[in-house]
Structure 1
Amino acid sequence: MRVIWCGFALGVIALQRQVALPGRGAWVGLVLAILLAAGWALWALGATAPADESRVSGFLGERRWRTASGWAAVWLAAGCAGFGYAAWRAELRLAQVLPAAWQTRDLYVTGYIASLPSYGANGASFLFRVESWEANKEAHKATTRLPQLIQLSWVAREAPLPPLVPGARWRLALRLKRAHGNGNFGLRDMEAALLARGVRATGYVSDLEHAVRLHVDASGIGVRIELARAALRARIDAVLGDAPHRGIVIALATGAQDAVSDADWRLMRNTGTSHLVAISGLHLAFVAGLAGWGAGALWRRARWRGIEAPLFVPAQKVAVAGALLAAGIYAALAGFNVPVQRALWMLAVAALALFAGREVARSHVLAWALGLVLLRDPWAVTAAGFWLSFCAVGAILFAASGVPRLHRDAPQPLSADDADPMRDRAEPTAEPTARDGWLRRLAAMAFPPGGWREGMRRIASRLGDSARVQWAVTLALAPLTACWFAQIPLIGPFANAFAIPWVSMLVTPLVIGSAALPAPIDAFALRAAHTCLDGLAEALGALEGLPWAVLRLPQPGGWPLACAAVGVAWCLAPRGWPLRWLAPFTWLPLLVPAPTGPPPGAFRLTALDIGQGTSVLIETARHRLLFDAGPGPESTQAGERIVVPYLQAHGIGRLDALMISHDDSDHSGGAQAVLDAVEVREFVAGILPAHPLWASARAKGAQTVQCAAGQRWRWDGVDFEVLWPDPGPLAGKPNAHCCVLRVTTAVSAARETQAGPVSALIAADIEAGVERTLVARDPVRLRAQVLVVPHHGSRTSSTEPFLDSVWPLVAIFQVGYLNRFHHPYPGVYARYAARHIVLARSDADGAARVEAKPGALTVERFRDTQRRYWMDPPTQD
């Protein structure tokens, strides 16, 4: 089964990397491949030994070859089956489509709230199960299946939010759009996450006055689970209120992580303990173990008509059944995430093996869990939790496979007294039995028969086993942590050494116990859990302050990850494995990555896909400049969600300059998040002197400069020049004094290569008046091959004289998907297209990356090079 499920998993992974789903011809080839591989496997693995003994030796060699080829055929058939199964599930899910015409008008739907609402500063978001669509019949015929599950936001404007209870039926007026995510190089595509949840449309409640709560609520097991989660969360909110670590308690009780504060997330990420917040296999194992122990203890003491209950059913089976039942209930309350699924399926497989009286290897249990997780959710492989959970357990099993258990005491020969079968019956044993009192058993545990030395040896052995497991998990997950989070918390093993027991033995039991205790007793357990979290936060904060606590790395490619994976297996191999001292050298491509910047004299411009807003990263050989930081907390929080993770994923821990063009929130809102996360040497801005960003930048140690025309500098053979605004006090509305930046490859390098220089112009939100001034002042200086379109393509900008002066070859529109400003304006977009300019727009193409060097210019669009089957077709220039 290990070969089958591993091959199945590889097929599922391969499907999630495809640009398009298989067509009819591919399906025929897939079925033929499965049949041929299965037939070969049956023939190769079903051979029998010849009757003639003289041919046995030759048969053994042939048998080895046939066995190897047979298992390879099994693996191939399982891989093709996994690929086909994932493709079939994807076709079913993608068949639910919101008509394009429905994205621009109000829609009236009837359905019920299908999930625990997630509350934020401006409202709440939740999943909504649609029962009926109220739309015209012609539009309804435009698609075969409409989305059944949508993700909604309910923004509290003037009136407070109504009670949003799972299962409550509503008739709502909505503004919807197809499931769409920002596309940026090196960051996770949110469209995959929406697809995995079955969400095929997102939107918001557009008409709050006509939202009608219907009388009959929905029912079903899913609704009951969500109601239980909501009730548990309400109890926690009522007890803890605004306590700083309330979000962690809610996460441990219900699996909802929206209430975890940014400070707690940052602390746990930097100390490698963020896995403790997510309900994982560790928590589920604790609940299952506690429930199993209790069920077994009660069953051993139960009697029926004077006959002990274990005589009917063994207590071990009752304990396993109780553990499985408790684990299932807790997994449902936790939202059934991937780590919880993995632990639950492993427990279920082990329980079935016990009930059937069969012994199953731990690797087979893990393989069954892998297959069952992917059968339920083929898109689980696109989430970090899948890889971290399965790799952690796999590392533990692999490391434990090379540590055999041996008895230290050598066997002694039997004497005559030892051989006497009546001797053991005559003398009482020193080991406590089940009939002994609890005080005697406790004393036997504290003072074992071998004396205190034997007790210390056992304690040291347990500590050694724990350290070995922690070492294996830390080593195995380090490459994955670098891949998914662009960092390796070096302090993680030390932090987890006390954080895991602290949370497992104190916090988790108190949180789980509070769910079972009645009011007001549950309040004492919740407050005690929060007090324990206070102590944990103080300890982790002390570790986080160490200068070597976190190693930040650029997101590695496939080759460094493969080398690191070989090194992990090499280090964790059983004792006696040859040349283990060479294993650390395989980590060098990961820990010492090659420089990724452009060569001297060239620059790289990346216009991020942040929705409606601007954020452009300019890189030279050894310097980095970020122009604007996108929206902040008042809007989509793109600065924190996209800009900062993008910088960290590409190994940019320091910005030589952060330039904020003006004070519009879609340009400056994310600047504070950048200042908090990344070292900024120079802060250049076109904002008023009283703006709080100036003080914040100085507090972070950055040099502050107001941008003004005439400022020039050179980095690595690349010239930078500010063209606007004029020096002096800023006047007028923010768009009138935007910073305008021109970047040019060095003229000297262009002369050496006999090629002309390449320039890029970033025009922020300037409008027609500023454009006319710049054209009248010096039209030659505006000449640029790359133009980040002014004001997102608004009708107030991109005048004909300005475009004639710039005459770009590439134009980049940074706009939000179906934004409320209707950017870019169709007439302006047509103006660019009429000039046969290569166009890139973030709403359709994702992020755009331009590599510029003298005489050469290349453009890469995210949805062209990183396309997956769930994305909409690309735009045509």
Structure 2
Amino acid sequence: MRAVLLGFALGVWWLQQQADLPGWRGWGMCFLIFSVAVMARRRFGVRVFVLAAIVAGFAYAALRAEVRLQPHLPVEYEQRDIEMTGFVRGLPEPQEEGTRFLFEVEANGAGLRDFPHIVRLLWAPTAPLVAPALRAGQRWTLTARLKRPHANANFLLRDGEVSLLEQGIRATGSVSLTRAPRRLHADAIGPRLAIDRWRAHIRDRIETVLGDAPHRGIIVALAVGAQASVSDDDWAVMRATGTSHLVAISGLHIGFVAGLAALACGFVWRRIAWRGLPGPLWLATPKVAAFGAASFAAVYAALAGFNVPAQRTLWMLLVFAVAYVGGRRPASSLVLAWALALVLIVDPWAVTSPGFWLSFCAVAAILHAIAAYGRRASKARVDDDDDWLAGLEARDPILPDEVESVSNQAARPIAATSKRKRLASAWRRAAFKLHAHIKSSARVQYAVTLALAPLTAYWFSQIPLIGPLANAIAIPWTSFVVTPATLAGLILPAPIDAPAFHLAHAALSVLCDALARFADAGPAWFLWHLPQPTPFALVAALAGSAWALAPRGWPLRFAAPLTWLPLLAPAPAPHVAAHGAFRITALDIGQGSALVVETEKHALLFDAGPGPESTHAGERIVAPYLLAAGLHSLDALVISHSDSDHSGGAPAVLQSIGVRQLLASLPSSDGLWSNAGKRGSDTLRCAAGQRWTWDSVEFRVLWPDAGPLTGKPNHQACVLKVTNAAGRVALFTADIEADVERTLLARDPSALRADVLIVPHHGSRTSSTEPFLDSVGPLAAVFQVGYRNRFHHPNPTVYARYRMRGIALTRSDEDGAARIDMGSDIVLERFRQTHARYWMSQ
């Protein structure tokens, strides 16, 4: 049965790797394979059932995907005012720019069939209208401007569009105030909305009690699973110490609640009588406790929003409870396999999220460790007891008066002697249990750390070496102090819930202060940054973890660390350019610019994308990409000019990545100069005539002129020319406009000749003039633009100007990130083509 359930999960995962959903031929092949497997079951046994389960999982996930993708927004209706009637779902999230919320559409004014059922909207306050306090179930008639579900698509980073699909969000947009929204009187009702209202009420209670307390966001996250309120400082500390999992309502917390519920239900049931018979005679107390635990776990999982770890724990409890009531004691591995299959039946897209892999692999590691050490522990239990008791007695020998002769004992009070012996024995048993508990906890922590380290490196490009020590303190403190105090606050009515919430926050403050000291006091290598491992390195490290956790005596267990070498000491990445060549990676960061240039041994970042004032692209995309690519330091960071879509992400890059030199065209008063100087970077104004060579690749600055900066920022933008050993040229033009183009043409048209052009000013109508394009003569051009951006870049006329010249084009809003290898030949790779998935652009 385990193999069949794992086969089903494998089929679901396989579907999520496909570029297209199966057509009629694919469905026919699935039906044929499934039928043959079922008919051959008697001859080949369970192996055929595994094949049938794989096909069943693939077909089930494909069917769910077909249904989920059916509602859609036609392209011609994007960014048009559409009137919708529906109700608010989930927990609205107040943010600086407005309130973000989910809206379930019941009717649309465009009369479209298969209109998206769920859309995500931003209600931005615009004078004189103020965004109202939104609550789940409120019905509204409002006008919105929508876009199809779209997210940034980059190499080495998770695709955000699958997250939208997983939540059923088939369009995103903002509330348009061209027509005043109308609140309808009748609110929507239903179990899900009742849970959402309950979660919102709890969040409001906590925020009212704690006010502006620094860690209130973590308390909210532990109570209702909403992480939007967690501060950036708290996230930074927890990422550095490997304790980010504590912010979520995890399986550990739900298991703790289930355990308390089981004890309480058993205690009450033993004291209940009905018709003169005590409850245990009607139904066994352990069965009542099992169902009580599952019921309370379901309530807490609902508060968590049914995230993957919560679902996993809930399904495991339910499977165990059903089996236990039926008189069975299923193996833990079978319970985990059933939970795996049930999670994927509910949510086939869960396999694309880090939480899914981290949660199930952590439990699998714990079970594997228990199975590995269990037999040895059971065999040696008596010997261990004797050894420990003997050791304690050696350190605390029995008093002489306890071995006196019978005649001498007669003079002593027998009762006192017996009491002393019982007390000594109790202390020894307690010491042994404490030792066993510490030993068991250390083994579990070792197993989880070893199993999750490869996955952490894959998903987050880092391994916090301080994590085991930090978790050894944080997990028990959170589980036995912070979480119980938070739960007490949930149970108690207002206003007597305030002391519990304050106690939870005070305990959390102690923990956060300790974690911050760990993060600050430790050396930089405490947070080990690694490039994203290859599939081979990941599988080898996971297999090595299972090998290392095998029982003592397992063949060649001492050689298990060798399997980690591809992960910890990877060979030079195959995408690094050869000597004399370079690679350009144009990141998809929305409306803005961020380009990575890699030579054989050096790396340069040209612009860093938007920052907190817009999409946080520097923090969300640029810095994570550099770390995932193994670029832990940059030889140069070039900030072309002060516009926020080019410079806003620079502080995030400086904070995460070592930068040897900042080369920028910024006013002297710009804070980026001092920021870079404090972090040990050399700083230099970008000026025409500067040039340097890395690995036989020449870099040359063409603009602006040396001297005081004049004109608007676009006029000051740095223009960089990169030439490889084969004479292939790339031209980085930032946001220059027609006036700068004319100036450069007047100086030396031949200096502008390039094979690859990063299009000036995102393709605006004020740039890319005909004479400029004729002089550059590019073979390929890169447009870095945001999807349906408000500037309408690229301008249709300008875009047509490029197309008429037969230039190979790539644009980030349609193709995602682009890679261009510049050697003797030019190779262009578009992310959405080479890494296509069936949900992209749907």
User: What's the TM-score once normalised by structure 2's chain length?
Assistant: 0.93
Give the Cα separation in 1 of the matches to 2:437 and 2:272: 33
Per the alignment, residue 233 of structure 1 pairs with 203
User: Could you report, residue by residue, the CA deviation over 1:500-548 in whole angstroms, capped at 9, with x for unpaired residues?
Assistant: 0000000001111101111121111111111111111121122213113
- What are the residue-to-residue correspondences of 1:381-780 with 2, within 5 Å? 381-403=351-373, 404=375, 405-406=378-379, 408-409=381-382, 450-545=425-520, 546-547=522-523, 548-596=525-573, 597-746=576-725, 750=726, 757-780=727-750
Give the Cα separation in 1 of the matches to 2:598 and 2:505: 45
Shift of 1:549: 1.4
User: Could you report, residue by residue, the CA deviation over 1:387-441 in whole angstroms, capped at 9, with x for unpaired residues?
Assistant: 0000111111111112222364489xxxxxxxxxxxxxxxxxxxxxxxxxxxxxx
- Contact 2:619–2:649 (8 Å) recurs in 1: yes
User: Secondary structure at 2:100's aligned position in 1?
Assistant: strand
- Contact 1:448–1:455 (8 Å) recurs in 2: no
Are 1:152 and 2:121 matched, yes or no? yes
Shift of 1:607: 0.5
* Runs of 4+ off more than 6 Å: 446-449
Shift of 1:95: 0.9
Are 1:378 and 2:357 matched, yes or no? no
Per the alignment, residue 861 of structure 1 pairs with 830
User: Secondary structure at 1:114's aligned position in 2?
Assistant: strand
- Contact 2:591–2:786 (8 Å) recurs in 1: yes
Per the alignment, residue 142 of structure 2 pairs with 172
Residue identity matched to 2:495? P
Per the alignment, residue 260 of structure 1 pairs with 230
Residue identity matched to 1:868? R
Residue identity matched to 1:533? L
- Contact 2:149–2:841 (8 Å) recurs in 1: no
Give the Cα separation in 2 of the matches to 1:216 and 1:699: 58
User: Could you report, residue by residue, the CA deviation over 1:597-649 in whole angstroms, capped at 9, with x for unpaired residues?
Assistant: 21221111011000110011111112111111111111111111111111111
Residue of 254, 266, 283 corresponding to 1:313: 283
User: Secondary structure at 2:567's aligned position in 1?
Assistant: helix
- Contact 1:543–1:549 (8 Å) recurs in 2: no
Residue of 220, 244, 264 corresponding to 2:190: 220
- Contact 2:533–2:567 (8 Å) recurs in 1: yes
Per the alignment, residue 326 of structure 2 pairs with 356
User: Secondary structure at 1:402's aligned position in 2?
Assistant: helix
Residue of 75, 99, 104 corresponding to 1:100: 75
Give the Cα separation in 1 of the matches to 2:381 and 2:568: 41
Residue of 823, 844, 851 corresponding to 2:814: 844
Shift of 1:347: 0.2
- What are the residue-to-residue correspondences of 1:31-42 with 2, within 5 Å? 31-41=31-41
Residue identity matched to 1:716? D
Shift of 1:561: 0.8
Residue identity matched to 2:22? P
Q: Aligned residues, how many?
A: 799
Give the Cα separation in 2 of the matches to 1:358 and 1:498: 37
Give the Cα separation in 1 of the matches to 2:299 and 2:98: 30
- Contact 1:252–1:277 (8 Å) recurs in 2: yes
Shift of 1:277: 0.6
- Contact 2:817–2:830 (8 Å) recurs in 1: yes
Give the Cα separation in 1 of the matches to 2:515 and 2:644: 34
User: Could you report, residue by residue, the CA deviation over 1:551-607 in whole angstroms, capped at 9, with x for unpaired residues?
Assistant: 100001111111112211110111210111110011000000112221221111011
Give the Cα separation in 2 of the matches to 1:247 and 1:283: 17
Shift of 1:664: 1.0
Per the alignment, residue 812 of structure 1 pairs with 782
Give the Cα separation in 1 of the matches to 2:17 and 2:141: 39
Shift of 1:157: 3.4
Residue identity matched to 2:233? A
Per the alignment, residue 25 of structure 1 pairs with 25
Shift of 1:308: 2.5
Per the alignment, residue 277 of structure 1 pairs with 247
Shift of 1:305: 5.2
Give the Cα separation in 1 of the matches to 2:313 and 2:338: 11
Residue identity matched to 1:764? A
Shift of 1:71: 2.1
Shift of 1:447: 7.0
Per the alignment, residue 54 of structure 2 pairs with 79
Give the Cα separation in 2 of the matches to 1:238 and 1:511: 14
User: Could you report, residue by residue, the CA deviation over 1:372-395 in whole angstroms, capped at 9, with x for unpaired residues?
Assistant: 000000000000000000011111
Per the alignment, residue 407 of structure 2 pairs with none
- Contact 1:324–1:351 (8 Å) recurs in 2: yes
Give the Cα separation in 2 of the matches to 1:409 and 1:834: 85
Give the Cα separation in 2 of the matches to 1:740 and 1:532: 53
Are 1:112 and 2:91 matched, yes or no? no
Shift of 1:160: 3.4
Per the alignment, residue 388 of structure 2 pairs with none
- Contact 1:447–1:455 (8 Å) recurs in 2: no
Shift of 1:351: 0.4
Give the Cα separation in 1 of the matches to 2:68 and 2:826: 40
Shift of 1:454: 3.0
User: Secondary structure at 1:113's aligned position in 2?
Assistant: strand
Shift of 1:306: 4.8
Q: Cα–Cα, structure 1 residues 449 and 866, in superposed 2: closer, same or farther, change >3 Å?
A: same
Per the alignment, residue 413 of structure 2 pairs with none
Residue identity matched to 1:723? L
Shift of 1:703: 1.1
Shift of 1:701: 1.5
Q: Report the RMSD for the aligned CA atoms in angstroms.
A: 1.5
Shift of 1:779: 1.0
Residue of 251, 263, 270 corresponding to 1:300: 270
- Contact 1:567–1:587 (8 Å) recurs in 2: yes
Shift of 1:156: 2.2
Give the Cα separation in 2 of the matches to 1:524 and 1:186: 46
Q: Cα–Cα, structure 1 residues 815 and 731, in superposed 2: closer, same or farther, change >3 Å?
A: same
Shift of 1:105: 1.1
Per the alignment, residue 832 of structure 1 pairs with 802
Per the alignment, residue 333 of structure 1 pairs with 303
| Gapped regions of structure 1 (runs ≥ 5) | 45-68, 412-443, 751-756
Are 1:203 and 2:176 matched, yes or no? no
Q: Cα–Cα, structure 1 residues 819 and 520, in superposed 2: closer, same or farther, change >3 Å?
A: same
More off after superposition, 382-391 vs 159-168? 159-168
User: Secondary structure at 2:169's aligned position in 1?
Assistant: coil
User: Could you report, residue by residue, the CA deviation over 1:771-810 in whole angstroms, capped at 9, with x for unpaired residues?
Assistant: 0111111111111111110000001000011111111011
Identity over aligned residues, as a percent? 57
| Gapped regions of structure 2 (runs ≥ 5) | 385-418
Residue identity matched to 1:2? R
Give the Cα separation in 2 of the matches to 1:239 and 1:871: 44
More off after superposition, 774-783 vs 339-348? 774-783
Per the alignment, residue 48 of structure 1 pairs with none
